[in-house]
Amino acid sequence: MSSVSWLWSRALLTNKSFLWLLFIVNALGTVYGYIWYGDQLIETYDHNPAWQLIFVPDSPTASLFFTLALLYLLFPPKRELKGPAKWLRSAIEALGVVTSVKYGIWAVAMIIAGAMKGTPMVWENYMLIVSHLGMAVEALLFTRFFAFGIAAAFGAACWLFLNDMIDYSYYVYPWLPQVLDDILPDVRNFTVGLTLFSFLLTVLALRLAERSRGLK
């Protein structure tokens, strides 16, 4: 095995020490993400119905689901899960992958779009680009180790479509660089299209994982 391919090998990705490192990094990133959304959450609470709060923090909720999904790899069930426990695992893992792919790409796209329209790039922008790209990449890399299928991925995509509808109907989408306010319809269309793209990319990752297992 080459040194490059080792970076996405089962031996590394399922190593307990590496999984714990990834769990800690994602957990801290999730906490940081909710803090980042603090002002918007307060404003939403002050001016909108409370039920809309859940639709505000997109990226940290995605990383929260992925962090929870890692627990199934760190503490594998001693026997096969059935019924509600199986459905819960599938839902958490599917949401962790599909939402992380979407919002990982979305955040990077919005930062770059803002920069192209004149928003100055500061160190936080570069940090967010790296961390959000990491969200998307890790989600796709770990798809093969999770237990969810296409049906659960479709359910996660439906949640994202609902989130898109709420975001742009009630204006609780993540705060954008100000220079993007005048192209909000384009941002909305891109966001909805990215939901579909993230679902299809997840399906592709699942198919590749099935094919890889079939070749063994």
Among 216, 199, 111, residue whose Cα is nearest residue 159: 199
Q: Count Cα atoms within 13 angstroms, Cβ side, for 28.
A: 6
CA gap 216, 211 in Å, rounded: 9
Report the 10 Å Cβ neighbour count for 59.
Answer: 25
User: In the predicted model, is pLDDT for residue 209 greater than 60?
Assistant: yes
Please write down the long-range contacts of 163-168, taking CB distance under 8 Å and 24 or more positions apart.
163/55, 163/58, 164/188, 164/191, 164/192, 164/195, 166/52, 166/55, 167/55, 167/58, 167/191
Cα end-to-end distance, the chain, whole Å: 16
pLDDT in tens, 10-53: 778 889 999 999 999 999 999 999 999 999 999 999 999 999 99
Exposure of 64 in the CB half-sphere (CA atoms within 13 A): 11
pLDDT at position 151 is: 97
CB atoms < 10 A from the CB of 27, how many?
Answer: 15
| Cα atoms found within 13 Å of the Cα of residue 40, Cβ hemisphere only | 19
DSSP 99: H
Average pLDDT of the chain is 93
Model pTM score: 0.93
> Three-state DSSP class for 81?
coil
Q: Give me the percent of the chain exceeding a pLDDT of 70.
A: 94
d(CA 100, CA 137): 9
User: What is the reported pLDDT for 133?
Assistant: 96
pLDDT tens-place string over residues 129-175:
999 999 999 999 999 999 999 999 999 999 999 999 999 999 999 99
**Six-digit token string for 207:** 């198919």
Give pLDDT, residue 7: 57
Spatial separation of the C-alpha atoms in residues 189 and 129, rounded to whole Å: 21
Residue type, 72: Y
The per-residue pLDDT for range 46-85, each reduced to its tens digit, is 999 999 999 999 999 999 999 999 999 999 988 888 889 9
How many whole angstroms separate alpha carbon 208 and alpha carbon 173?
33
- What ranges in 117-149 are assigned the alpha helix state H? 123-142
pLDDT tens track for 90-142: 999 999 999 999 999 999 999 999 999 999 999 999 999 999 999 999 999 99
| CA 186 to centroid of chain Cα atoms | 21
